[in-house]
Structures are given as structure tokens and as C-alpha cells.
């Protein structure tokens, strides 16, 4: 159980981030959810508080390094410490093939999925080093562990980099009591699924991972004792369309 612990969840307004925030709060942690949409953040906080747990919102854009640093300073001023960082903020674009990939779209994906992950880690590390305790869970992707056509070159490159960033974090910061996990899920039925170039059919969405499955995984990693580091956790649906294909997974 995580009573007395402080957990910061980016991308906490929906999907995996929301599920992770709920699961950590249910385990007893005080949860701070971040994202760019105040309305979504407020709804998540209301859900957690309404269930009798502790939560608050801290709106920010993880691509803004100065805003991230200011946000962490605010978080520490309010709570005194931070024990868990869950990096769940992420984006992809409908037009993701090489033929329509622009420098601007590439930069947008990398700015959120990779740079934003670095900025949040950079901001929390001094406090985690000081207390010699901390757990960082970076939501990467199946596409960050194995090549996948579906998600496109920019997304894949950023998520592969997140996995390596996580492993290097354990190399460097493990001696300081800090442990990190690259969480690599296959397809998850989040709102982002509907924004794909060709949305998958409903029967396939029903067989995908659910956000709450990832929430349980995040709680599992967080509740491990401090001497345990789960470096990578790769999770897929039993029916893994990335491997077996689907009517919307086509090489166009």
C-alpha cells in the first residue's frame, strides 16, 4: 500500500494516465494529475476524491521545460516530496507515414513523447536523489520495444528512445535509490484509437487492452519494494493485432 506517498501522473486527464492515477489513489497515494485540459483533469480529480481518496490537478504542458520545472516546484511546495512519477503524456498523428511526415509533425511527436519525458524526469531527480527514493514509470509502447508498422516512424523512434532513456536511468540512478520502468503496452482501447487514419472495427477494439489493465500494471510496479526495479514490462492483448494484423492495419 502507498499511504503517505506522493504520485505525479502526466497525461492524467484520460486513458492510461487516468487509470494509473485511479489505481495509485486506490492504493493510498496522494495523486497529482497533470495535462493541458483543465476540464478533464478536474473530472479525474472529482472521481478520485469522490471515491474517498486524495488528488489534485496541476495543469501544464510537458513540452514546456520551464513550465515543468515550475510545476514540480509547486508540487514540492505543497507536498514536500515526490515518490512516484508516471509519464503517460503522449501523442501520435493520423498522417504518420513517411510520405506525409513533415519536420513539424515529427517535432511535435518527439516533443511530447520523448522530450516531455526527459523534462519531467529532469525536474524530479534532484528531490528523489536527496531522499534516496523514487520510482519513475515511463509509458512507452509495444512499438518502443518491437518494430510496428501501425504506429509510424516518428512515434516508434520516440518510444524506442523512451525505453533506452529508462534503462539508462536505472544504470545511473539505481545507486541513488531510484528505479525506473519502461511500460510497453500493445493496443489499448483509449480515445486515441478513434483518431487513427483508419479506426479499427468495434469487435477488435473490444479485444484490446483496457486502460484499467495498465492502471493495475502501474500499481503493481509502484508497490514493489524499493530494492526491486522492474526495468521493462511488455504487455499485449491476448489477441495481438500488431502481430496477426487486422482490417485497418494495412500498408497504404
Sign of dihedral through CA atoms 114, 191, 216, 57? positive
Q: Could you confirm whether 239 is annotated as catalytic?
A: no
Q: Cell numbers at residue 72, please?
A: 514540480
> Distance between CA atoms of 10 and 18, rounded to whole angstroms?
9
φ, ψ of residue 26 in degrees (nearest 5): -65, -30
> Distance between CA atoms of 94 and 194, rounded to whole angstroms?
10
Residue of 185, 182, 184, 186 lying closest to 230 (CA atoms): 182
Of residues 146, 149, 155, 239, which has the active-site annotation? Answer: 155
Q: Which residues are catalytic?
A: 155
Amino acid at each position: 500500500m502507498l499511504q503517505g506517498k506522493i504520485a505525479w501522473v502526466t497525461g492524467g486527464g484520460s486513458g492510461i494516465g487516468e487509470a494509473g492515477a485511479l489505481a495509485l489513489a486506490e492504493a493510498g497515494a496522494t495523486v497529482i494529475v497533470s495535462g493541458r485540459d483543465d476540464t478533464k483533469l478536474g473530472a479525474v480529480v472529482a472521481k478520485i476524491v469522490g471515491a474517498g481518496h486524495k488528488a489534485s490537478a496541476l495543469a501544464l504542458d510537458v513540452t514546456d521545460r520551464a513550465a515543468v520545472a515550475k510545476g514540480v516546484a509547486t508540487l514540492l511546495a505543497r507536498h514536500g516530496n515526490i515518490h512516484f512519477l508516471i509519464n503517460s503524456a503522449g501523442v501520435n498523428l493520423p498522417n504518420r507515414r513517411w510520405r506525409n511526415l513533415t519536420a513539424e509533425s515529427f517535432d511535435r511527436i518527439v516533443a511530447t513523447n520523448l522530450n516531455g519525458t526527459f523534462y519531467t524526469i529532469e525536474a524530479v531527480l534532484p528531490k528523489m536523489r536527496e531522499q534516496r527514493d523514487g520510482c519513475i514509470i515511463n509509458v512507452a509502447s509495444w512499438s518502443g520495444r518491437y518494430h510496428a508498422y501501425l504506429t509510424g516512424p516518428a512515434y516508434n523512434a520516440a518510444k524506442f528512445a523512451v525505453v533506452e532513456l529508462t534503462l539508462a536511468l536505472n544504470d545511473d540512478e539505481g545507486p541513488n535509490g531510484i528505479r525506473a520502468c519502461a511500460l510497453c503496452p500493445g493496443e489499448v482501447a483509449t480515445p486515441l484509437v478513434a483518431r487513427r487514419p483508419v479506426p479499427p472495427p468495434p469487435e477488435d477494439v473490444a479485444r484490446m487492452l483496457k486502460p484499467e489493465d495498465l492502471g493495475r500494471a502501474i500499481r503493481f510496479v509502484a508497490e514493489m519494494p524499493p530494492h526491486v526495479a522492474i526495468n521493462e514490462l511488455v504487455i499485449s492483448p491476448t489477441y495481438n493485432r500488431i502481430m496477426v494484423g487486422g482490417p485497418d492495419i494495412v500498408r497504404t
